């Protein structure tokens, strides 16, 4: 599965390299056999962002480098999503970015679907498992679903690693709130693409079908 993710990500023209980070020796050896750049990380990390930080440190990236966190269970990843994710970094002031896509009220009502509210300039105001923004008049039925792809400048990624879990992060179980509570802006780009992650065994057949028709 990680081979598909790496191959799809490598098609994004804005990425200079794609490296696999893992704490599993079996995956590490398989990546080497497939000639995929790979970094072995510790098994103590509580989040994917912490693992990406260790890998980026081992790669000795500059503080201004942009690091993208791509989940290894996204074999149907559209390379165009990564281009959308990286758009905000045309401004040197942008330190962190993520993606969102419109969804309807029924889907948005699930706490498993994380919603985001953003300002006119794309800056994230809040992420929540609750139905936000609250629609008092019940006239608007569209919400923004957060897509869990992140990009950080290296200095902010280091900052994330230095911060303890924040109160809102612990309450919502959303690690991106750690940055917002520390006053670090996250910019959100709306994309037409969606993820089809393999979270359950039954997702695998669906992913195979998508890959066969790409």
pLDDT digits (tens, 9 = 90+) for 124-181: 999 999 999 988 877 777 899 999 899 999 999 999 999 999 999 999 999 999 999 9
Q: Which of 17, 67, 8 is nearest to 193 (CA)?
A: 8
Q: Which domain holds residue 118?
A: 2-212
pTM: 0.86
Q: Is residue 194 classed as helix, strand or coil in its secondary structure?
A: coil
> Phi and psi at residue 170, in whole multiples of 5°?
-65, -35
d(CA 185, CA 183): 6
**Structural domain total, the chain:** 1
Q: Of 85 and 193, which is predicted with more confidence? A: 85
Q: What is the CATH number of the domain that holds 206?
A: 3.90.550.10
What local confidence, expressed as pLDDT, does residue 198 receive? 46
Name every residue whose Cβ is closer than 8 Å to that of residue 171 and which is 6 or more positions away in sequence: none
Are the C-beta atoms of 148 and 202 separated by less than 8 Å?
Answer: no
């Amino acid at each position: 599965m990680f081979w598909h993710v790496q191959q799809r990500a490598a098609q994004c023209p804005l990425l200079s390299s794609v490296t696999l980070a893992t704490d599993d020796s079996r995956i590490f050896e398989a990546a080497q056999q497939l000639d995929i750049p790979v970094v072995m990380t510790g098994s103590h990390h509580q989040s994917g962002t912490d693992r990406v930080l260790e890998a980026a440190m081992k790669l000795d990236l500059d503080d201004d480098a942009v690091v993208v966190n791509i989940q290894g269970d996204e074999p149907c990843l559209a390379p165009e999503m990564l281009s959308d994710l990286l758009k905000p970094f045309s401004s040197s002031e942008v330190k962190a970015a993520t993606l969102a896509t419109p969804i309807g009220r029924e889907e948005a009502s699930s706490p498993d679907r994380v919603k985001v509210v953003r300002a006119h300039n794309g800056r994230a105001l809040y992420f929540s498992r609750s139905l936000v923004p609250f629609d008092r008049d019940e006239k608007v039925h569209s919400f923004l679903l957060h897509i869990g792809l992140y990009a950080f400048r290296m200095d902010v990624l280091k900052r994330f690693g230095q911060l303890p879990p924040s109160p809102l992060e612990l309450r919502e179980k959303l690690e991106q709130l750690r940055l917002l509570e520390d006053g670090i802006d996250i910019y959100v780009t709306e994309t037409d693409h969606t993820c089809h992650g393999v979270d359950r065994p039954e997702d695998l057949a669906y992913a195979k079908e998508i890959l066969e028709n790409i």
